[in-house]
Structure 1
Amino acid sequence: MTLVEEFTGVRVRAPGKINVFLEVGALQADGYHELATAFQAVSLFEDVVVTASDDFTLAVTGTVDTSGVPEDDRNLALRAAKLLAAETGYDGGVHIDIRKEVPVAGGMGGGSADAAAVLVACDALWGTGLSSRQLHALAARLGADVPFALKGGTAIGTGRGDDLKPALARGRFEWVIVPNPEGLSTPSVYGELDRHREQHPVDIPAAPETPDVDADVLHALRAGDARMLAAALRNDLQAAALRLRPDLAEVLEFGEANGALAGLVSGSGPSLAFLAESAEDARGLQQTLERAGHEAIHVHGPVHGARIV
């Protein structure tokens, strides 16, 4: 019997993401914010393997520091498996092995990618046969970024970011990611944005009543034009993230002075994403950042969403 025949689990790979545009609306009564964002899935992947078990268990390894990743019900991947089981009436369990490449608490949706991968993997392992629409609905209940990790590619997200519409993106965009070992809490970054808007209305624009993605972003993606996209990059959370972590501003300035078309905080941070004009430029920027003592990862996008491999 071959090794392939002996393997009885399911392996799924799901991507991390960059928010190339993120406009944040006002704080709502339910504690959330309306968003308008342009997601791009990039070639930094989470690998998830699920195998049959009587209980729900989880193990995490990876090329990034996973010491802060919980292995109990605080982990979104474990919650995804239990949600799928509850919704489909599956009465068994599953063991989940996660190998992480996306920075933890880095604003690149690694936890959401894990949850999306688990939904796809457990659906296949258990034979529950849910449609894409049903999986999307479950994903949206787990978190705003989980539906995008299912779909991948490039998409516009509205509402809390989980109402997705595909966006045409021609060609390939080259990015250099600079992760940071000290994570940032997403609620803390949103809270800092709300405080700054309230206390310094002259310094920062008021929250839009209805967030929307800038047309220049859509034109740049459609044209596959990195320079055009660089001019349109925006993240409303960036100023808040930099106030909480002012050390990141120096890295942004360094990258932009050494070959990046533009740089921005990825999501709620602290990972930084630098857009390069070509793969050669991205490799050069990566090497320059590394020589300066920064970890740097060359990735590209868009790539596919959660997929069985």
Structure 2
Amino acid sequence: MSYLRAIHPKRSGGELAGVQVCCPGKVNLFLSAGSPTSDGYHPLTTVFQAVNVHETVIASVRDHQTSVTMSLESPNPSVPTDESNLAVRAALLFKKRYGITQGVHLHVDKKIPAAGGMAGGSADAAATLRACDALFNSEASLEDLESLARELGADVPFLLTGGVALAEGRGDLITPLTTDMELTWVLAFQREGLSTPAVFREFDRLHDGREELTPAAMPEPLIKALREGDIDLLADSLCNDLEQAAINLHPDMAETLRLARSSGALAAMVSGSGPTVAALVTGPEQARSVQTLLETLPQVAGTMIVHGPVAGAHVEN
């Protein structure tokens, strides 16, 4: 594709139109990490599942500006709105790649907890790429958008398509997985977030002095469970190498995990780099029971029952 052709914003009735895109968060069913390479990144083998808690991004053109601006539906001091925000960076990268001179405003309604291990920032970035593609009629292919996504972060390429996928490399080399299995999770959000770099630093400290780690190979038992719909095998195959590091930094999570596991959930684990705890349950009745118990914990700021897999970033208007 040539990036030199003229690209014009989408119009509705002659007026510049905003484009609304929703993008889900994710849980990691499996996450194995290796020692950092010379570039500082940790090689990963992980299995993502997109779940039905969504970020919403509305992108609109600012004809008399050239910058990218951002606002939040419910302002959160922990979420920046400048160029350190991944969604703003996504819009800037898209503008640069396609030679767009107009400004873009992003209005973001966040439902995924910030610094919660569910890729809320990456979801905003994936949604922004889809929104800018629709807004400027760029007709970018999925491969084009995935190329941009890989420049932004490890989780962003997966969230463009969602579903379930094996991810390798930095977590950005995606192989979709086929399953007819719908999973129900109870998510317990902790009152304080965790920095992903801090969790990886603690992971490195825990393994300091040991031989170099390599991420596990493809998790065959978990993939078999997804393919055959075997929820017991899947529960036994859940794994997160970052869990202990996250608990060390956020000790209250250990109690959340213990209660989730003792309350009847099939399994419970830290989602990604934490601190969100994801409890796998058999269905709505068990979900409500586990949710009720987890809400009694003082360190739990809130809970949510979610399902997966769901589709990735998609235009809603």
The answer to whether the superposition gives a TM-score over 0.5 is: yes
1:19 equivalent among 10, 28, 35:
28
Whole-angstrom distance in 1 between the partners of 2:113 and 2:193: 9
Specify the SS of the correspondent of 2:77.
coil
Specify the SS of the correspondent of 1:296.
strand
Moved more, 211-220 or 235-244: 211-220
Are 2:235 and 1:223 equivalent residues in the alignment?
Answer: no
Whole-angstrom distance in 1 between the partners of 2:249 and 2:304: 24
Mapped contact 2:33–2:214 kept (Cα < 8 A): no
The Cα of 1:57 is off from its aligned counterpart by: 0.6
Mapped contact 2:187–2:303 kept (Cα < 8 A): yes
Which 4+ runs in 1 deviate beyond 6 A? 4-7
Specify the SS of the correspondent of 1:27.
coil
Specify the SS of the correspondent of 1:13.
strand
**Residue of structure 2 equivalent to 1:69:** 79
Are 2:71 and 1:59 equivalent residues in the alignment?
Answer: yes
Whole-angstrom distance in 2 between the partners of 1:259 and 1:230: 12
The Cα of 1:108 is off from its aligned counterpart by: 0.3
1:307 equivalent among 278, 291, 314:
314
Q: 1:14 to 1:237 in 2, by over 3 A?
A: same
What do residues 198-226 of structure 1 show as CA deviations (whole Å, max 9, x unaligned)? 15x4xxxx654353232111011112232
**Residue of structure 2 equivalent to 1:42:** 51
Q: 1:193 to 1:210 in 2, by over 3 A?
A: closer
Whole-angstrom distance in 1 between the partners of 2:109 and 2:98: 26
Whole-angstrom distance in 2 between the partners of 1:152 and 1:136: 12
Specify the SS of the correspondent of 1:192.
helix
Are 2:140 and 1:130 equivalent residues in the alignment?
Answer: yes
Moved more, 288-297 or 236-245: 288-297
Tell me the number of residue pairs that the alignment of Structure 1 and Structure 2 aligns: 299
The Cα of 1:291 is off from its aligned counterpart by: 4.0
Q: 1:246 to 1:291 in 2, by over 3 A?
A: closer
Specify the SS of the correspondent of 1:270.
coil
Cα RMSD after superposing both structures: 1.6
Whole-angstrom distance in 1 between the partners of 2:190 and 2:54: 17
Task: Give the structure with the higher percent helix.
Answer: 1
Could you tell me which amino acid in structure 2 is paired with residue 189 of structure 1?
A: V
Specify the SS of the correspondent of 2:54.
strand
Moved more, 108-117 or 46-55: 46-55
Mapped contact 2:194–2:275 kept (Cα < 8 A): yes
TM-score, reference length from structure 2: 0.91
What do residues 109-159 of structure 1 show as CA deviations (whole Å, max 9, x unaligned)? 000000000000011101111111000000000000000110100000000
**Residue of structure 2 equivalent to 1:144:** 154
TM-score, reference length from structure 1: 0.93
Mapped contact 1:35–1:160 kept (Cα < 8 A): yes
1:121 equivalent among 106, 131, 139:
131
Structure 1: runs of 5 or more not aligned: none
Whole-angstrom distance in 1 between the partners of 2:181 and 2:135: 34
